[in-house]
Amino acid sequence: MPELTYAQALNQALREEMWRDPNIVLLGEDIGKYGGVFGVTRGLYDEFGGARVRDCPLNEASIVGFGIGLALAGMRAVTELEFMDFCTYAMDQITNQAPKLRYIWGGQVKVPLVVRMPIVAELGFGSQHSQSLEAWFMHVPGLKVAIPSTAYDAKGLLKTALRDDNPIVFIENVKLYATKSEIPDDEYLISFGKADIKREGDAVTIVAISAMVPEALQAADELARVGISAEVIDPRTLAPLDADTIIASVQKTGRLIVAHKAHKTGGVGAEIAQLVSERAFDALDAPVVRVAAQDVPIAASQPLEAATFPGAKELVSAARKLVNR
């Protein structure tokens, strides 16, 4: 099987689905000849032309709004936001419009829309380009939210998203774009709402999101050396969330760490911790621990940025403390 990077896998998913479905139109900034700010749409303009791979002016709100309009008219839109942080410009369209229209219009319309946006954390871009805002979208009924951590998952989930008739926020991660997976030659899809156990273990469960997944796997290696067996779960989609897989793991291990690069307060980790509290409180041998970014704006300077975000080291220390409690 060929190895592809995360970015190449996304590109392949877009290419395959655009061949399969002539209704798919891509809208974004510099996604045409240039191939996207991080190269995800490279080559698609040459292959499918400017009518379907559309360079837009710099107006995130209208890019998503046009995507909704295309979807209302029976097409299927993929809109690219260059950095996740820029979703703030498009929030009305993403949260107030796309996920509501079908419901408030009594099922008369469908909104097949994929809003792609990458997290660009830990690369020195500073506070307005480095945020992980996935919790905002998980909060909104009517939206589906995917947040893959590997090239393999990215391809399978994006292909599924491109066949779904609902609005989907598809959260990528630039720090992961160069990481590789073996990608099967045969077509495959990954269902939403199915977590992946990235590593099995029985002493502590680590639910990790996006770039925290490779950190959790590294932490699990280190923990194994001191005799602690960690299970690493990647939810892969936050809406729908595969609570069953998480609960089953906690019932086995009795201990849970939720880990993300998003700020700690009001993050996805809080939601997962509460779900476990509601459904598996008796299985817990210790309080749930959150390993997350500090609640500070993200600084550009390297040591300040490094002190903001958690990594494998913080996970190892949290797990050791939790297991030896």
Partner 1 sequence: MELITAKQIELLKQMWRIRCFEEQAIRLYGEGYYRGSTHPYIGQEATAVGACAALRPTDPVLATYRGHGVCIAKGSDPQRMMAEILGKETGLCHGKGGSMHLADASVGFVGSNAVVSAHIPMAGGVALAQQLNHTGAVVACFFGDGASCEGIFYETCNMAALWKLPLVFVVENNEFAISTHVSESISVPHIAQRAQAFGFPGVTVDGCDVLAVYAAMSAAAARARSGDGPTLVEAQTIRWTRHSAVSAGGYGAGKDAERWRATDPIPRYSEWLVTQELIAPDEPARIEQAARAEIERAVKFAIESPLPAVEQLHEDIFA
Nearest to 216 by CA among 152, 171, 259: 259
Contacting residues toward partner 1, per CB under 8 A: 25, 51, 56-57, 59, 61-62, 64-75, 77, 92-93, 96-97, 101-112, 141-142, 144, 165-166
**Closest distance to partner 1 from the beta carbon of 112 (Å):** 8
Distances in whole angstroms, Cα of residue 43 to Cα of each of 34, 46, 152: 9, 5, 20
Query: By C-beta, is 164 or 271 nearer to partner 1?
Result: 164
Distance CA 280, CA 254 (A): 9
- What whole-number distance in Å separates Cα of residue 255 and Cα of residue 285? 6
Least distance in Å: CB of 69 to partner 1?
2
Going by the DSSP 8-state scheme, the letter that residue 30 receives in this structure is S
Question: What tokens were used for 307?
Answer: 């002190």
CB of 216 to partner 1, least distance (A): 30
> Residue 23: is it exposed, middle or buried by C-beta count within 10 angstroms (0-12/13-18/19+)?
middle
159 alpha-carbon distance from chain centroid: 14
Known catalytic residue at 129: yes
Active-site pick, 129, 139, 260, 263: 129
Nearer to partner 1, 39 or 69 (CB): 69
Min separation Cβ 219 and partner 1, Å? 36
Q: By C-beta, is 101 or 228 nearer to partner 1?
A: 101
Mind telling me the catalytic residues? Answer: 129
